[in-house]
Structure 1
């Protein structure tokens, strides 16, 4: 289908015409259900003040579907956040296709000669959030904050008519992911629902523009962890827990999950409030405590089973954590057992 629309609700109305299906309207939220011959799911949209609108889509199609967004008098700034199977974006000026994978985002604006298409593949669960910003209508809001705005962001928003072609993509952060989930799972109704979704939309915009500004920095100086990075850090933590006897070095663990050492270390600090090595020690001592409580192994056997080669070092770590030596704790546990 081909559409000329500058906000979410206009898109819903045009989709309804093209797909020959009714619109369900509740307060200021418009929804089109996917016709049975195309598949299942829905596309919802809400328009807010200051030129902001949001589309939430969740579908499973039995035919591939391409939406062609034709150029308009005013080209909005568009942010697309993908939460499931990959979708493909293409603009006519560069003829380049961009596949947007799960947990990736694309922020773009067409120029005055350009149109863009979004392709959704059949047979794959598809879910995304799309935010439109009419920069002409957003201009008044912008004036409140322009003194403290990043220069690149200000330039992007000052292009109120959408004259310049712009594109920026990458993995979005865990905080953005949580805000998107909150919108998708919102089960309130009426004014409260509308206010909640508007607040979460502005939260996503704020976090995304912070990430965009952060990405302009040298990679080594970036402060914001991406969702994909966090997943790799959690994968590293799982490797440690599942193979506690292996003496992982930071470098080895980083390579296993595809991160550099600095990112892995900062990620562990962010998620677990400790270094990689301290996390490994913590999990080993916790595992040793479990073995003392639930097995018949002696202290030497337990020491080696958790990947520590020195019994005295193990005793030192255990006493620091539990204020008892392993032997003292073992006697206490087995005394309780016999009683």
Structure 2
């Protein structure tokens, strides 16, 4: 495991220290600092940019060859950090004795450590991790006109006011793909100069607003229509087993929604989140995988297999099998038999 200890002065200093460890190239364009590396530590891009009133953004798109422990030594002021993971996962802990917590993909995460402590993020090895950190320095943000922090709930408001009784603070909230859409838009800005900078700042504020709204709903035991709870995720995992057991039956969105007790929108959001596919795309792929196994391991006819996986016709099955695997079902079975005999 590699370990980097960062003296947490500001994001520019932090990126300089990462550059010193990883090497690579560090350049600045329109206020955004960009570190790119590809060496024995892995490969990736780390970007940072600061705005007024203590707001900054650090964005990681990395893949490490060894597990990496990134330790930040906090100073007299610590930021509130809004974290969103688009790919992969992280572990996090504060101090040396606490157990590391898993931070999951698409989850709404807010942390605020104690001053003069150690916060540790652990990146897994050989996993592509895309994560952004929106950091707000509390004292600076409190001086902002119309900051409206009084509208936050009492606990989060006290965190911004640095009432140490409620520190460290951690919120592991619901899962939301709409936030991911805005994160993706922010990452893929192709404009230049002031347009790019304003675009990043605008998206950052939208993401921050969405994370605060998610937090508000979570604390009030409400759920946004576009959000999924841990319980919802568990239901969708269990639904995948139901689909396998009933693969020969007509599996409509309405039927599956009723089975799992979630709305059609939440069902689709959950499948996109967990499998990067719509419900129908997931079912279609599963039918093809099960059919391929039947062709490989049984003597069932193609027509019998088509019936068992619930596909409407043999010709349609041959078409989609060929499109996905690049070979017709009959040719696939013949190839398997030739390999078995040789």
Band the TM-score falls in, shorter-chain normalisation: 0.5 to 0.7
1:223 corresponding residue in structure 2: 224
1:29-75 CA distance string (max 9 Å, x none): 11111241212111010011110110111122222221110121101
2:12 corresponding residue in structure 1: 9
Task: Note the 1:163-312 alignment, pairs <5 A.
Answer: 164-218=167-221, 221-226=222-227, 245=250, 253-254=259-260, 261=261, 263-264=262-263, 267=266
> Does structure 2 retain, via aligned residues, the 8 Å contact 1:6–1:132?
no
Give unpaired runs (5+ residues) of structure 1. 255-260, 272-304, 307-339
What is the rounded CA distance, in whole Å, between the counterparts of 1:243 and 1:180 in structure 2? 39
Q: Deviation at 1:172?
A: 3.4
1:159-196 CA distance string (max 9 Å, x none): 18898211111343222111111111111111111111
Q: Deviation at 1:212?
A: 0.5
1:23 and 2:23 are equivalent in the alignment? no
Q: Deviation at 1:142?
A: 6.6
1:281 corresponding residue in structure 2: none
2:321 corresponding residue in structure 1: none
Give 1:50's match in structure 2, choosing from 48, 53, 77: 53
Task: Note the 1:62-101 alignment, pairs <5 A.
Answer: 62-92=65-95, 95-101=98-104
1:190-229 CA distance string (max 9 Å, x none): 11111111111111110001111111123xx433432675
Where is the strand percentage greater, Structure 1 or Structure 2?
2
Name the CA shift for 1:82/1:69 in 2 (closer, same or farther; >3 Å).
Answer: same
What is the rounded CA distance, in whole Å, between the counterparts of 1:10 and 1:119 in structure 2? 20
> Does structure 1 retain, via aligned residues, the 8 Å contact 2:84–2:131?
yes
Give unpaired runs (5+ residues) of structure 2. 271-310, 313-342
SS in 2 for 1:213: helix
> Does structure 2 retain, via aligned residues, the 8 Å contact 1:174–1:230?
no
* Matched residues, number: 267
What is the rounded CA distance, in whole Å, between the counterparts of 2:248 and 2:14 in structure 1? 51
Of structures 1 and 2, the larger Rg is shown by 1
Could you say what the CA RMSD is over the residues aligned between the two structures, in angstroms?
3.8
Give the alignment's TM-score, normalised by structure 1. 0.67
SS in 1 for 2:144: helix
SS in 2 for 1:222: coil
